[in-house]
Structure 1
Amino acid sequence: MDDNKLFSVSGNTALVIGAASGIGLAISRLYSALGGNVMMADYDINRLSGEAKKLIGENKKVEFMPVDIRSGESIHDLVERTEKKFGKIDAGFITPGINIRKKFLDYADDEFQTVINLNLKGNFMAMREIAKSMIGKNVAGSIVVLSSIRSIVVEPGQSAYAATKAGLVQLVRGLCSEVGKNNIRVNAIAPGVVDTPLTQQIKKDPDWYRAYSERSALNRWASVDEIAGPAVFLTMPAASFIDGTVIFVDGGWTAIDGRFEPKL
């Protein structure tokens, strides 16, 4: 393999679902900056339009389209339009997630279903449609989903969210086992605490924010760019033998106890 192409996405096309903000937007910006084509998709069309037009204004090969990840038909239309615009999908990034923080015994059935429908079913349908496209176009592609440190560690109020993030890991492994023969790789990124719209509730509480900062080995939160980098890396030739796994991008959160530093 040409060493100059190991870390390249130039000329390839990424479909980024959840691209209007947070990690999805950071992935879109990075992939575009590296010379790739990007189809940006999100439920929030107003915010998506504004962010996409910024990239388009830089003469980047960027397109955007609304999508409801809870709808199989909406995802199918998105994939079809991406194919028509760019010919194929080389990389699929699926970032949407919702978290209703509530004690297990207080969780209502409909609240649990809301989290399951978006985080698990929605991601499943998106993974399925992107993989079908890659197989249909004979693309050696890469699919990246967002799990979380909550797939292996949990705290009060996160049971439903954690269950979906653990479930995503098994979806990654299951799809990986079936499409590897088509030279399609499927992986997950598991972030720790990241400064995104999803974590604004924590940021508003100084004690909570500080406790999360001190919990990781690096004693701080991650920026969205620090998650986008590893995610895009997984779609590069340099990552061509990474498949069916989870990369924790958590500042050491899951590696250390972190709550008390004993006097040694």
Structure 2
Amino acid sequence: MFHKKSSVSNDRGTIQYKLEEEGKLSTGAAFQRYAAFEVTSMETPDATPRPLSVLEWAHEVLLSESCLHDLIETISSSPYKALFWETKGVTVKAAAETYFEMVLVDAPQLAKFVKGKPNPEAFASHFGTDSKCRHSTVGCVFENLGKDATLIAPKPVVSKTTESVNTDTSKHKPTDDADFSHLAVFCRNAPQEIAINVWRLAIETFSKSLVSKKSSSDEPVWFSTSGMGIAWLHFRVDSSPKYYSYQPFIEPNK
């Protein structure tokens, strides 16, 4: 086990993602588990980082684009070519008390599944101009077929640049559909503006799903990505941990 921190400043202080644990699941899949902390004073180097609750994390990240960028960078720096991203299942009450944690689970089977076959057509009915998608210029929010989960997916980039005119040296190639096929490659290769705005849309949807529930509600929500069924990135705000790999996050905090 080792500890790694990545941090970003915002108006309230610094958010740090600390690697709390890494190891292997019973299936043999490697994983990294992170927790989010806030340092409230930039002028006190020895200040003790304060763990953020799920609701605090969502609030702070949505306040600051740099916080979103740092989240993306934390995932991008993972050693896994493809991964499952999972968070704790929480009720609205528990979200205010439960510390935010996320786990990255190595998913070579996902990398193999999506290779060479990104599939934006799977959500074409939601991306079209005649659809009800008015949430964002870069992403869409819609129910899954079973109507027990809300999905958030990036829209395909219609106009692709074929000439190397992009002055952003962090991008080595024009946008490609393959860059939208799963979370790890999306965080690493998608245009930064698109990645930030899709993440913002996903976290907003998750946050709204919690605050829209009655304070006494004991209905948990799970926020994650899988991707094994459809080769196009889609976040899940789910009423059950349908595709979870990390056992400790399956049982919800109530």
* TM-score using structure 2 length: 0.27
* TM-score using structure 1 length: 0.26
Higher helix share: 1
Higher strand share: 2
